[in-house]
Amino acid sequence: MILEASQLSFRYDSDPILSDIDIHIGPGVSAIIGPNAAGKSTLLKCLSGILQPEGRVRLNGKDIRQLSVSEITASISYLPQEFTPQAVLTVFETVLLGRLNQLGWRVTSEVLELVERLLEELQLTSIAGRYVNELSGGQMQMVSIAQALVRQPAVLLMDEPTSNLDLRRQFDVCGFIRQLTDSRGLSTAIALHDLNMAARFADTIYVLENGRVRCQGEPVSVLTEEMITEVYRVESRVTIEPSGRPHVAVLGPCSQAPTRET
Amino acid sequence: MSKPLPSALSVSMGAGVGYQRLGRRRLMIVALSFLLLVISFTCDILTGPAQLPLSDILSTIWSPDSASDSLRTIIWTFRFPTALMALLVGASLGVAGAEMQTILNNPLASPFTLGISAAASFGAALALVFGAGTFVFASTLLVPGFAFASALFGAMMIYGIGRMRGGSTETLIVGGVALHFIFSSGVAFLQYVASDDTLQAIVFWIFGSLQGATWSKVAILCVVLSAAMSLLATQAWRLTALRLGDIQARSMGVDVDRLRLQTLALISILTATAVCFTGAIGFVGLVAPHLSRASVGEDQRYFLPLSALYGALLVSVAAVICKLAIPGAIFPIGIATAALGAPFFAALALLKRRAYW
């Protein structure tokens, strides 16, 4: 399934947040990177149909505005950046809610088994009976990821899914999403801050800066020292690993503002 | 973590079994609460200002035709409707409070937070002040009618504010609190200009009372409560999802603003119907959902009926205590529900082992 946007713009009141975005989320993992307030979260909300932007968003060629909410949620699963619920719901119940459209007064054994299996895959079985409002930030994030995945979407949009996770969990979760994407032919877009995670797990990287796509392409062509200096204002050293993927070593902040080519 | 999610589902039940066990435990709690309610209702029927032998009461219930007129009147005209009204009003306020807390994502929300009760009090006070010359007519028709109309008018104003501004919780709470103070100042003004007798009637109405319950009022409230609960039950999973936050619920396909406004309209009608017959019985709508949440969590399939049962139980027990504490006197039920509910509420906050909000 292909999710694409053309000439996408969005403004909060009169402040432009996104301008003339063209993006193509096809099978594989696309990483969306950029500094704070670049518009990454807003872009994902526009793509998921939560926000109504100007321009066009198409799902397999169909304008998303012509699709019903249930049609959109049947295909697209969006994982928000913030997930700190105060609800008195167990982890199992919270993940179960991901199958909202299938839930009746009685929950079928198929849905129960699906949730159970996913909790096992994400190593959450031990906390399945705990209330979500008692979990740590990292555990809440894992529950949120589980809820996004249990919907078995064709398009997966994840807003910084690893921001609260320890190093090992970041690798595990990104690896799991990568594997899931490959095995099911998903079209996955992940907003990330960690450039090395993007370099390691993404097929395509979009760099957002001030609400516009600055550049896009394979990690090796996008993650350059020049781009990092100009977009993030830090000095870095980029090396190419034996796998052919770039590795970014951040050296420190730029001593002075870089000069920009126009 | 290394294996992809399988499409064929043939795994041993572990977490799922725990979930099903939790569901059975919650059903047991709901059933036990229902049993307690039946006991409380029976006590409510058996007690009253007239000291009647148990055998007379039972024979009047089983064979009304063979009982004396006075016994039949006491049991079937006064005690039964009053006891049923206690259950229905309590259940209505419990349900309204539960859904108010859910849609506003606020633990202090209750049917009275958004000024619906204050609006009802204003309507009742208006009827009492201007209909004072026809007191019997005022107390039976004018007061409930004005209270209902005023409560509904207040609810429609909040609904209108919500629709204009997209139905956000902040807008609804700020609009509702403003409305509460506007109507409260209106009630204060009417109390200021009222005669001594009317002032007393207004104060009594605001405290809440089950006196004046009739079979027709019971039937009206029963229909409204059944309809409201049925409609809310169809949205049970969506209302549960709402507690995970607006963005999360939206991402699951819930039309959050629409659900919030529809639920608000429904519980406004329910609250208006309940309080127009009995006055503002406080604290039930606040404490019943908290007790329910602590007992069964927030899966609305259990949370909604248990909030109704706890609300009904609270008012029913308060009614019995009122009759036993001051025999023969008509004691405002609202004072008893607050006195009974507040310690539960405080105990829940102070002795809790886990966060219920």
Query: Cβ contact (<8 Å) for A90 and B22?
Result: yes
Interface of B with A in 60-89 (CB under 8 A): none
Nearest CA in chain B to A73: B253
Query: Cβ contact (<8 Å) for B9 and A50?
Result: no
- Most confident among A253-262, B21-30, B200-209 (mean pLDDT): B21-30
Q: How confident is the model at residue B224 (pLDDT cuts 50, 70, 90)?
A: very high
> DSSP for A65-114?
GGS-HHHHHHHEEEE-S--------BHHHHHHGGGGGG--SS--HHHHHH
CA distance B144 to B272: 9
- Tell me, what amino acid is at B232? L
Query: Cβ contact (<8 Å) for A172 and B1?
Result: yes
CA distance B93 to B260: 18
Across A11-20, B109-118, B141-150, least confident range: B109-118
Q: Are A46 and A8 in contact (CB under 8 A)?
A: yes
Tell me the domains of chain B and their CATH numbers.
69-348 (1.10.3470.10)
Q: Are A206 and A33 in contact (CB under 8 A)?
A: yes
Q: How confident is the model at residue A259 (pLDDT cuts 50, 70, 90)?
A: low
Query: Cβ contact (<8 Å) for B293 and A92?
Result: no
Q: Is A203 within a domain?
A: yes
% of chain A with per-residue pLDDT over 70: 97
Q: Of B243, B248, B254, which has the smallest distance from its Cβ to A80's Cβ?
A: B248
| Bridge partners for A3 per DSSP | A25, A59
Place of tokens 């039937």: B219
pLDDT digits 0-9 by tens, B262-306: 998 899 889 988 988 888 887 899 899 999 999 999 999 999 999
Please state, as a whole number, how many other Cβ atoms lie within 10 Å of the Cβ of residue A213: 21
pLDDT digits 0-9 by tens, A48-106: 998 999 999 999 999 999 998 888 988 999 998 888 888 999 999 999 999 998 898 89
Nearest CA in chain B to A76: B251
We report the CATH number of the domain holding residue A181 as 3.40.50.300
Q: Is A53 within a domain?
A: yes
Confidence check: pLDDT of B10 > 80: no
Sheet holding A15-25, edge to edge: A15-25, A3-12, A54-59, A62-63
CA distance A93 to A78: 18
Q: Is A31 within a domain?
A: yes
Q: Is A259 within a domain?
A: no
Q: Is A258 within a domain?
A: no
Query: Measured between CB atoms, does A51 come within 8 Å of chain B?
Result: no
Query: Cβ contact (<8 Å) for B19 and A176?
Result: no
Q: Are B13 and A113 in contact (CB under 8 A)?
A: yes
Confidence check: pLDDT of B355 > 70: no
- Tell me, what amino acid is at A222? V
User: Which H or E run includes B181?
Assistant: helix B169-193
- Tell me, what amino acid is at B297? G
Mean pLDDT of chain A: 91
Query: Measured between CB atoms, does A112 come within 8 Å of chain B?
Result: yes
Q: Is B77 helix (H, G, I), strand (E, B) or coil?
A: helix
Q: Report the Cα–Cα distance between both ends of chain B, in Å, rounded.
A: 32
CA distance A41 to A83: 14
Residue B216 CB-half CA count within 13 A: 4
The encoded tokens of residue B124 equal 């009742």
Residue B140: CB partners within 8 Å, gap ≥ 6?
A: B212
Q: Is A155 left (phi over 0), alpha (psi -120 to 50) or beta?
A: beta
Q: Is A94 within a domain?
A: yes
- pLDDT, average across residues A204-230: 95
Interface probe with A: pick from B12, B25, B102, B252, most Cβ of A within 10 Å: B252
Using CB atoms within 10 Å of the CB of residue A138, give its burial: 0 to 12 exposed, 13 to 18 middle, 19+ buried: middle
DSSP state letter for A122? T
Query: Measured between CB atoms, does B18 come within 8 Å of chain A?
Result: yes
Interface of A with B in 133-172 (CB under 8 A): 133-134, 144, 147-149, 151-152, 172
Range of A60's domain? 3-253
Query: Cβ contact (<8 Å) for A120 and B293?
Result: no
Q: Of A88, A144, A180, which has the smallest distance from its Cβ to B298's Cβ?
A: A88
User: What are the chain B neighbours of A117 within 8 Å (beta carbons)?
Assistant: 5-6, 9, 11
Nearest CA-CA distance, residue B272 and chain A, Å? 28
Q: Is A192 within a domain?
A: yes
Domain tally for chain A?
A: 1
Q: Of B10, B244, B301, which has the smallest distance from its Cβ to A87's Cβ?
A: B244
Confidence check: pLDDT of B1 > 60: no
Query: Measured between CB atoms, does A71 come within 8 Å of chain B?
Result: no
Q: Is A261 within a domain?
A: no
Interface probe with A: pick from B26, B251, B348, most Cβ of A within 10 Å: B251
| Bridge partners for A217 per DSSP | A205
pLDDT of residue A83: 83
Query: Measured between CB atoms, does B230 come within 8 Å of chain A?
Result: no
Q: Of B233, B243, B354, which has the smallest distance from its Cβ to A85's Cβ?
A: B243
pLDDT of residue A262: 39
Interface of A with B in 189-248 (CB under 8 A): none
Query: Cβ contact (<8 Å) for A121 and B299?
Result: no
Query: Measured between CB atoms, does B25 come within 8 Å of chain A?
Result: no
- Alpha helix ranges (H) inside B297-332: 300-325
The encoded tokens of residue A17 equal 């947040």
Nearest CA-CA distance, residue B301 and chain A, Å? 7
Total beta-carbon pairs less than 8 A apart between chain A and chain B: 148
Model ipTM? 0.84
Nearest CA-CA distance, residue B284 and chain A, Å? 20
